[in-house]
Amino acid sequence: MKLVFDHIDFTVVGHLQGLLEAAGIRSEIRNLNASSAAGAVPVAQVYPELWILENRDEARAKALIQAYRDEAAAAPVGPDWTCPSCGEKVDGVFSSCWNCGTAIPAALDPGPA
Protein backbone atom coordinates (compact mmCIF):
# COMPACT_ATOMS: atom_id res chain seq x y z
CA MET A 1 0.00 0.00 0.00
CA LYS A 2 1.23 3.46 -0.80
CA LEU A 3 -0.32 6.87 -0.36
CA VAL A 4 -0.06 8.67 -3.68
CA PHE A 5 -2.40 11.63 -3.30
CA ASP A 6 -4.57 13.52 -0.87
CA HIS A 7 -6.81 16.52 -1.32
CA ILE A 8 -9.29 18.48 0.73
CA ASP A 9 -12.00 17.85 -1.88
CA PHE A 10 -12.96 14.18 -2.07
CA THR A 11 -14.45 14.67 -5.55
CA VAL A 12 -10.90 15.28 -6.83
CA VAL A 13 -9.63 12.18 -5.04
CA GLY A 14 -12.49 10.17 -6.48
CA HIS A 15 -11.80 11.49 -9.96
CA LEU A 16 -8.15 10.44 -9.70
CA GLN A 17 -9.15 7.01 -8.44
CA GLY A 18 -11.21 6.65 -11.61
CA LEU A 19 -8.17 7.57 -13.70
CA LEU A 20 -6.01 4.99 -11.91
CA GLU A 21 -8.62 2.27 -12.29
CA ALA A 22 -8.95 3.04 -15.99
CA ALA A 23 -5.21 2.36 -16.19
CA GLY A 24 -5.60 -0.93 -14.34
CA ILE A 25 -4.16 0.32 -11.05
CA ARG A 26 -6.04 -0.92 -7.99
CA SER A 27 -6.59 1.71 -5.34
CA GLU A 28 -8.72 2.70 -2.41
CA ILE A 29 -9.78 5.94 -0.78
CA ARG A 30 -9.29 6.47 2.95
CA ASN A 31 -10.76 9.15 5.20
CA LEU A 32 -13.62 9.54 2.73
CA ASN A 33 -15.95 10.73 5.46
CA ALA A 34 -13.31 12.55 7.47
CA SER A 35 -14.73 15.97 6.76
CA SER A 36 -18.38 15.12 7.28
CA ALA A 37 -18.53 13.42 10.68
CA ALA A 38 -21.81 14.71 12.05
CA GLY A 39 -21.42 17.02 14.98
CA ALA A 40 -17.80 16.10 15.57
CA VAL A 41 -15.11 18.69 15.98
CA PRO A 42 -12.15 17.60 13.87
CA VAL A 43 -9.17 16.75 16.06
CA ALA A 44 -6.79 17.24 13.18
CA GLN A 45 -7.08 18.25 9.57
CA VAL A 46 -7.61 14.95 7.77
CA TYR A 47 -8.06 14.91 4.03
CA PRO A 48 -9.39 12.09 1.89
CA GLU A 49 -6.42 10.00 0.74
CA LEU A 50 -5.85 7.92 -2.36
CA TRP A 51 -3.82 4.74 -1.76
CA ILE A 52 -2.62 2.24 -4.31
CA LEU A 53 -2.72 -1.43 -3.35
CA GLU A 54 0.35 -2.53 -5.30
CA ASN A 55 3.58 -0.67 -4.58
CA ARG A 56 4.89 -1.53 -8.05
CA ASP A 57 2.20 0.73 -9.55
CA GLU A 58 3.55 3.77 -7.72
CA ALA A 59 5.55 5.30 -10.57
CA ARG A 60 2.67 4.90 -13.02
CA ALA A 61 0.14 6.23 -10.54
CA LYS A 62 2.24 9.29 -9.79
CA ALA A 63 2.77 9.92 -13.50
CA LEU A 64 -0.99 9.80 -14.09
CA ILE A 65 -1.64 12.13 -11.17
CA GLN A 66 1.04 14.56 -12.32
CA ALA A 67 -0.41 14.55 -15.83
CA TYR A 68 -3.84 15.27 -14.40
CA ARG A 69 -2.52 18.15 -12.30
CA ASP A 70 -0.60 19.62 -15.22
CA GLU A 71 -3.73 19.42 -17.34
CA ALA A 72 -5.86 20.97 -14.63
CA ALA A 73 -3.35 23.78 -14.16
CA ALA A 74 -3.25 24.48 -17.89
CA ALA A 75 -6.97 24.23 -18.53
CA PRO A 76 -9.21 27.25 -18.28
CA VAL A 77 -11.22 26.84 -15.11
CA GLY A 78 -14.80 27.91 -15.34
CA PRO A 79 -17.00 28.79 -12.43
CA ASP A 80 -18.58 26.08 -10.34
CA TRP A 81 -21.77 24.86 -11.99
CA THR A 82 -24.92 23.07 -11.00
CA CYS A 83 -25.76 19.80 -12.69
CA PRO A 84 -28.99 20.18 -14.70
CA SER A 85 -29.72 16.49 -14.23
CA CYS A 86 -29.27 15.83 -10.50
CA GLY A 87 -28.82 19.32 -9.08
CA GLU A 88 -25.39 18.58 -7.63
CA LYS A 89 -22.92 21.47 -7.34
CA VAL A 90 -19.88 20.63 -9.47
CA ASP A 91 -16.43 22.18 -9.20
CA GLY A 92 -15.43 24.30 -12.21
CA VAL A 93 -12.45 22.07 -13.02
CA PHE A 94 -14.76 19.24 -14.03
CA SER A 95 -16.46 19.02 -17.39
CA SER A 96 -18.96 16.42 -16.24
CA CYS A 97 -20.97 15.82 -13.10
CA TRP A 98 -19.06 13.73 -10.56
CA ASN A 99 -22.33 12.40 -9.23
CA CYS A 100 -24.25 11.29 -12.31
CA GLY A 101 -21.86 11.82 -15.23
CA THR A 102 -23.94 14.43 -17.06
CA ALA A 103 -21.72 16.64 -19.24
CA ILE A 104 -21.43 20.33 -18.40
CA PRO A 105 -24.04 22.39 -20.28
CA ALA A 106 -22.39 23.83 -23.42
CA ALA A 107 -23.21 27.38 -22.36
CA LEU A 108 -21.03 26.96 -19.26
CA ASP A 109 -18.13 25.04 -20.77
CA PRO A 110 -15.12 27.34 -21.10
CA GLY A 111 -13.85 25.06 -23.89
CA PRO A 112 -10.28 24.72 -25.11
CA ALA A 113 -7.93 27.61 -24.45
Applying CB under 5 A, which residues contact Zn ion? 83, 85-86, 88, 97, 99-100, 102
Question: Based on CB atoms, which residue is closest to Zn ion, 88 or 91?
Answer: 88
Rounded to the nearest whole angstrom, what is the least distance from the CB of residue 88 to Zn ion in the complex? 5
**Which residues lie below 8 Å from residue 48, measured CB to CB, with a gap of 6+?**
6, 7, 8, 9, 10, 13, 29, 30, 31, 32, 34, 35
Q: Minimum CB separation from Zn ion for residue 94, in Å? A: 10
CA distance 46 to 26: 22
Nearer to Zn ion, 11 or 27 (CB): 11
